[in-house]
Chains A and B, each alone.
Chain A
Amino acid sequence: MRAVITVIGKDNVGILHKVSGICAEMGVNVIEVTQSVLQDMFAMIMLVDITNMNRDFSQLVDEMTNLGEKLGLSIHTMHEDIFNSMHNI
């Protein structure tokens, strides 16, 4: 099972570190990262494997939302099924 974490907002030091830190702590494996910084806007999409995570998925969602609020970024954590079902037949 995989999930997608998207981070959008003003660039600052250590965003990737903090997001992946939470993943590591919860046993969530990062599979792929796409990141771009346009002027000072930061946009990252991270594909993660949640098969062996050691907490409930909703805890990951909450942690990421809290981190986003703390850093002034918009962080969304969503199960990959929603993208697959919407965009693939």
Chain B
Amino acid sequence: MLNVYNILETIRMIQDECLDIRTITMGISLLDCIDTDIDKACEKVYNKIVSKAGNLVEIGQRIEKEYGIPIVNKRISVTPVAILAAACPNENPVKFAKALQRAADTCGVNFIGGYSALVHKGFSAGDRELIKSIPEALDVTQNICSSVNIGSTKSGINMDAVKLMGQIIRETAERTADRDCIGAAKLVVFCNAVEDNPFMAGAFHGIGEPDCEIHVGVSGPGVVRSALAKHPDASINELADIIKKTAFKITRMGQLVGARASELLGVPFGIVDLSLAPTPAIGDSVAHILEEMGLEMCGTHGTTACLAMLNDAVKKGGVMASSTVGGLSGAFIPVSEDAGMIDAAVDGVLSLEKLEAMTAVCSVGLDMIAVPGDIAPETISAIIADEAAIGMVNTKTTAVRLIPAIGKKEGEMLEFGGLLGSGPVMPVKDKSAVKFINRGGRIPAPMHSLKN
């Protein structure tokens, strides 16, 4: 039965504490669009996306009105385009990116993710061509996101791909240097990428997924922070309980919206991603939750422990609230998209090394971090290798989304605007890893990958 307290609590969460559905993402398989004629394939891709997701935005807006809850992003993820590109050798895969952009414009979605390649064990036909076309694709399109999976717990880390991605990230930033290097903000390198991720830039629709489905990503750092603020003297396990209860409520809302979207769109419901996704808005910061737990500033000693507890409690609370949990599920720590992280990075308290440690205990990885414009491609590759090693050994997803700030030095700022926010250029080590990166080959899978 409804009671006044519950009604007012829900309204307060939405109005004052920035509670929202971060994204509804429709996953669409493009496997039936493969054609040896790239122009025909592009036409099929456009037609399929528009036929499936033509009313995604409209239905998203209808649900927003029905439940009075904002759905910030309506997005699409598609089959990794490298699989389609494989059928069209000697063609420029950027044609696919342009077709996806046309589909994004027609559907009115914020992003389409899936300009991707999965090369964790090696390159197959189409993979290298697609990866090499990423800088151009992200330069000539606005709403396309790209990702490359370079490692997994099962297969180890493809160091040739790691080397290549260092160059690609740098080149992507260079090509979009006049737009604050925005291209690199739409490119993510994964270890253990998941196939049903609704969040950008890393969303793609895995080949094991159904033809079309709908995923939901929830958010609510502000709600968690204000719930903790009401208990200033609680012990850590009491805090964990409060977070669990809050995460449960947030996730139930995601489940409700996902089920409703699935019903209205007539496609199966995929997963709810149990996430705490910050935005640069005041009161929507994961860093501020950690500070509420008792840290003077995010990034100081104790941050990793606080984040580990937060991430675990969010999952425990959320898992019972949803029929199917998936995606990345955990707290995100994108530096430029989180007001508290930005402050901590500007202050020098939050360093790349601390962020790396934090990624071992939370969702994803080194995310939205601006690095000096003169960074060597091999240094980027070495950072990717470190991060992928954490993912591989801990059997979790890790990712790297670095933005080389072309023409800028440590301490200067990159301004992306909107949800991507702004980030200070953070220092990196000046000693070289060139020899290590140039060796190439593959880091073998760890012992515990042999589970059968």
The residues of A with any CB-CB pair to B shorter than 8 Å are 4, 6, 34, 45, 47, 57-58, 61-62, 74, 76-87
For B69, the closest partner residue in chain A by CB is A82
- Cross-interface CB contact of B7 among A45, A74, A79, cutoff 8 Å: A45
Q: Contacts A58-B65, A61-B65, A77-B68; is A82 near B253 (CB within 8 Å)?
A: yes
- Cross-interface CB contact of A58 among B66, B253, B256, cutoff 8 Å: B66
Are the C-beta atoms of B68 and A87 separated by less than 8 Å? no
Q: How far is the CA of A22 from the CA of B4 in the complex (A)?
A: 22
Q: How far is the CA of A62 from the CA of B9 in the complex (A)?
A: 22
Q: Contacts A45-B4, A84-B2; is A6 near B253 (CB within 8 Å)?
A: no
- Cross-interface CB contact of B10 among A34, A47, A82, cutoff 8 Å: A82
Q: How far is the CB of B9 from chain A (nearest CB, A)?
A: 8
Are the C-beta atoms of A83 and B249 separated by less than 8 Å? no
Residues of A within 8 A of B66 (CB): 57-58, 61, 78-79
Are the C-beta atoms of B6 and A87 separated by less than 8 Å? yes
| B9, B11, B69: residue with the most chain A Cβ atoms closer than 10 Å | B11
Within 8 A of A (CB), among B1-23: 2-4, 6-11, 15
The residues of B with any CB-CB pair to A shorter than 8 Å are 2-4, 6-11, 15, 62, 65-69, 249, 252-253, 255-256
Q: How far is the CA of A76 from the CA of B10 in the complex (A)?
A: 11
Residues of A within 8 A of B252 (CB): 85-86
Are the C-beta atoms of B68 and A34 separated by less than 8 Å? no
22 examples of A-B residue contacts, CB within 8 angstroms: A4-B7, A6-B7, A6-B8, A34-B4, A45-B4, A45-B8, A47-B2, A57-B66, A58-B62, A58-B65, A76-B68, A78-B67, A79-B67, A82-B10, A83-B10, A85-B252, A85-B253, A86-B6, A86-B10, A86-B253, A87-B2, A87-B10
Q: How far is the CA of A62 from the CA of B68 in the complex (A)?
A: 11
Residues of A within 8 A of B256 (CB): 81-82, 85
Residues of B within 8 A of A81 (CB): 67, 256
Are the C-beta atoms of B2 and A83 separated by less than 8 Å? yes
Are the C-beta atoms of B65 and A57 separated by less than 8 Å? yes
Q: How far is the CA of A45 from the CA of B256 in the complex (A)?
A: 22
Are the C-beta atoms of B67 and A82 separated by less than 8 Å? yes
Q: How far is the CA of A77 from the CA of B65 in the complex (A)?
A: 8
Q: How far is the CA of A81 from the CA of B10 in the complex (A)?
A: 12
For A62, the closest partner residue in chain B by CB is B65
Q: Contacts A6-B11, A76-B11; is A83 near B68 (CB within 8 Å)?
A: no
Are the C-beta atoms of A83 and B253 separated by less than 8 Å? no
For B253, the closest partner residue in chain A by CB is A86
Q: How far is the CA of A57 from the CA of B64 in the complex (A)?
A: 12
Q: How far is the CA of A69 from the CA of B6 in the complex (A)?
A: 25
Residues of B within 8 A of A62 (CB): 65
Q: Contacts A6-B11, A58-B62; is A82 near B68 (CB within 8 Å)?
A: yes
Q: How far is the CB of B149 from chain A (nearest CB, A)?
A: 35
Q: How far is the CA of A84 from the CA of B2 in the complex (A)?
A: 7
Q: How far is the CA of A34 from the CA of B253 in the complex (A)?
A: 25
Q: How far is the CA of A82 from the CA of B252 in the complex (A)?
A: 8
| A61, A78, A80: residue with the most chain B Cβ atoms closer than 10 Å | A78
Q: How far is the CB of A66 from chain B (nearest CB, A)?
A: 13
Q: How far is the CA of A87 from the CA of B252 in the complex (A)?
A: 9
Are the C-beta atoms of B4 and A85 separated by less than 8 Å? no
Residues of A within 8 A of B4 (CB): 34, 45
